[in-house]
Structure 1
Amino acid sequence: MARRVPELVYYPDDRPGIARRRRGKGFSYYSPTGVLIRDPQERARIASIAVPPAYESVWITPKPLGHLQATGRDARGRKQYRYHEAWQAMRAQRKYDGLASFGRNLPRLRARITAGLQADGGSRELALAAVLALLDRAAIRIGSAAYARENRSFGATTLLGKHARFDGNGVELDFPGKGGQPVVCRLHGSRLQAALHKVQDLPGAGLISWQAEDGACHAVRSEEVNAALEEICGDGVTAKTFRTWNGTYAAFLAAMAAGEIGIAELAEAASERLGNTPTVARNSYIHPAVIALADMSAGDRVTRLDRLRPVELSGLRAHEGRLIAFLERGGGR
């Protein structure tokens, strides 16, 4: 069982840590004061963190209950982190605890998106609204310039013009996502289609960008997106919250169906919506209360969900209000 979160110590990697140095076929470890670590228990603790042998510039916390256990650079020079399992559990719980509140803020967010999609072509407001619309409606990742450059994997902020195909029925996005997995999604709606046409017309290869007064074109940065989300929806909301919401919503819709249903079916529904594997969808993107529905008999599950009084807010999609009510009542009890 994981240790209770209050016992953890906040200890970031800008503080003195244990250094790792290669020695023969293995490694030696040195305390923050430079003393070789020989104690078997301490070496066992370090080994349990399982920092990959290929990592360089490895930092390991001297605190067994440090929230951050280790950092290092992988073969591509990217900084990687190893957190204490209790810290990870706390962060996951916070993510799910705020999901109902995020749902209640969706109408306000969608109204802002709708207004932004009608902004002038070339404006930052239009570009930001287009990115937010893709996060909401396509449930794709936000994207990273580094991942686009190094891995040729893309997201909402890094899509290229060639990744979009327009026709009379909407727009189809077709691009390599995380891990090189193909992502294909079709979006309908004349307002979004018109907005994407406008942002695509700017110079450069990017699908979504905006033009500054000096004529330079800029991509929307993930920091800008997350700042806008926090302003509208509150602290802790990021682009990833959309994927947690969409994964949970897809699993919830599957749970509303009559008949027996297991965790595998809930995970598959979320996986299909998000483009993850079912395992990743289950572990990272479905609220635990929704997963728990798989343990109920079909009759009890349908009865519990049917008796919920949905939250009624203009701007919510079908059954989103029921999901919010379900989460706010701790699983519909």
Structure 2
Amino acid sequence: MREIPDLIYYPDTRPGITRRRCGRGFTYFAPDGTRIEDVEERRRLSSLAVPPAYENVWICPRPDGHLQASGRDARQRKQYRYHPKWTEYRARKKYDDLTEFGRALPRIRRNIARDLDREAGDIDFAVAAVLAIIDRLSLRIGHPDYEHENGTYGATTLTHRHLSLGEHGLDLRYPGKGGRDVKRHVKDNKLQKVLHDLDDLPGARLVEWIDSDGTPREVTSDLVNHRLAEITQSDRLTAKTFRTWNGSVAALHAAAEAEKVTIKGMSEAAAQRLANTPTIARNSYIHPEVIALAEDPGRIPQDPPQISGLRVDERRLMALIDR
């Protein structure tokens, strides 16, 4: 990989090291079945800190592999341990992609608006509705596994009971990741109408489409991300990119409004927008250039260039990161 010359791509489909419980610890076996006795290698394997309860554990036989270990937890979910340099690389790429996302966002929104003019029940209407919810309300995409295992929801797994008529419009309230009670007030008139139309459709989910047989069908994350790839001509921009974008925008707005710019204040603003903890928001959803404003608030763009389809704080973010 040109970006990381001292790492190699090593997936867990290739032969790897296995482990077998031995007393209070583990014995490790090389891909050829021989027991690993080398002290330094055993120290490396132990340092990966793969939980003892994990099953079907695979460990990379090379210390420079991008994937160092994988295994299945108590719920049979596959978990991964990546090389620290790979994790750092992925984080850089995520924020590098944010500039591309900002350039594409007006086009994404035009496509959403066009598809929301279709009839409720149409598949394109349903996918656009999910994108609109993620864009305007910063919801996670959602997955049926999280609903079944944890009782948590996202844009594609919301049910009709999560939508209610509030004093000043529609409200969404549902259990989010980590058991958080997520509340979102829907102010946008267009999105209110979309949600009303969806609520009138049959089916268990709030957002569904109706096939030619009249059967309600779920909108999957794959459908949503495929649509985004069609619009943007990039497979790197996904539903999750909206959350990184919205977290960075919220943090920048807080910085622009604050008398004293602090990482704490920016992280709290992003966390509130995303229904996360400030620590997670700081580490995963705020662009480094925004975080750096705590040291140099004079770099906050005061009069960002006009960009059709972007709001003022979004234009500020583009002025800050698109250089």
Mark yes or no: TM-score above 0.5.
yes
What CA distance in whole angstroms lies between the structure 1 residues aligned with 2:68 and 2:104?
A: 35
Partner of residue 23, structure 1: 22
Amino acid at match of 2:279: T
Alpha-carbon deviation of 1:40? 0.8
1:257 has 2:257 as partner: yes
Alpha-carbon deviation of 1:167? 4.7
What CA distance in whole angstroms lies between the structure 2 residues aligned with 1:263 and 1:254?
A: 10
**TM-score, length basis structure 1:** 0.93
Mapping for residues 55-94 of structure 1, pairs under 5 Å: 55-94=54-93
Provide, for residues 166-213 of structure 1, a one-character-per-residue CA deviation record: whole Å limited to 9, x for no partner. Answer: 357332110001111111011122321222222222222211100110
Amino acid at match of 1:324: M
Alpha-carbon deviation of 1:106? 1.2
What CA distance in whole angstroms lies between the structure 2 residues aligned with 1:194 and 1:22?
A: 58
Alpha-carbon deviation of 1:127? 0.7
Partner of residue 162, structure 2: 163
Q: Specify whether residues 258 and 162 from structure 1 end up closer, same or farther in structure 2 by C-alpha distance, changes over 3 A only.
A: closer
What CA distance in whole angstroms lies between the structure 2 residues aligned with 1:115 and 1:166?
A: 26
Mapping for residues 255-294 of structure 1, pairs under 5 Å: 255-294=255-294
| Residues 293, 300 of structure 2: 8 Å contact kept | no
Alpha-carbon deviation of 1:258? 4.6
Partner of residue 323, structure 1: 317
Partner of residue 6, structure 1: 5
Amino acid at match of 1:246: N
What CA distance in whole angstroms lies between the structure 1 residues aligned with 2:202 and 2:106?
A: 33
What is the aligned residue count? 320
Partner of residue 305, structure 1: 300
| Residues 175, 183 of structure 1: 8 Å contact kept | yes
1:211 has 2:210 as partner: yes
What CA distance in whole angstroms lies between the structure 2 residues aligned with 1:119 and 1:195?
A: 10
- Provide the identity percentage: 53
What CA distance in whole angstroms lies between the structure 2 residues aligned with 1:174 and 1:38?
A: 55
Mapping for residues 99-248 of structure 1, pairs under 5 Å: 99-167=98-166, 169-233=168-232, 234-248=234-248
Amino acid at match of 2:4: V
What CA distance in whole angstroms lies between the structure 2 residues aligned with 1:294 and 1:211?
A: 49
Structure 2 unaligned blocks of 5 or more: none
What CA distance in whole angstroms lies between the structure 2 residues aligned with 1:161 and 1:107?
A: 30
What CA distance in whole angstroms lies between the structure 1 residues aligned with 2:154 and 2:313?
A: 27
Query: RMSD of aligned C-alpha atoms?
Result: 1.4
**TM-score, length basis structure 2:** 0.95
| Residues 311, 325 of structure 1: 8 Å contact kept | yes
Alpha-carbon deviation of 1:54? 0.7
Q: Specify whether residues 261 and 313 from structure 1 end up closer, same or farther in structure 2 by C-alpha distance, changes over 3 A only.
A: closer
1:314 has 2:308 as partner: yes
Provide, for residues 249-287 of structure 1, a one-character-per-residue CA deviation record: whole Å limited to 9, x for no partner. Answer: 011111112522211111111111111110000000000
Amino acid at match of 2:178: G
| Residues 301, 319 of structure 2: 8 Å contact kept | no
Provide, for residues 25-50 of structure 1, a one-character-per-residue CA deviation record: whole Å limited to 9, x for no partner. Answer: 21111000000111111111011111
Alpha-carbon deviation of 1:320? 1.2
Amino acid at match of 1:172: D
What CA distance in whole angstroms lies between the structure 1 residues aligned with 2:258 and 2:72?
A: 49
Task: Decide which moves more: 261-270 or 67-76.
Answer: 261-270
Provide, for residues 73-112 of structure 1, a one-character-per-residue CA deviation record: whole Å limited to 9, x for no partner. Answer: 0000111111111111111101101212211211111111
Alpha-carbon deviation of 1:238? 0.7
| Residues 229, 235 of structure 2: 8 Å contact kept | yes
Partner of 2:170: helix, strand, or coil? Answer: strand
Amino acid at match of 1:314: S
Provide, for residues 226-255 of structure 1, a one-character-per-residue CA deviation record: whole Å limited to 9, x for no partner. Answer: 111122222310111011001100111111
Structure 1 unaligned blocks of 5 or more: none
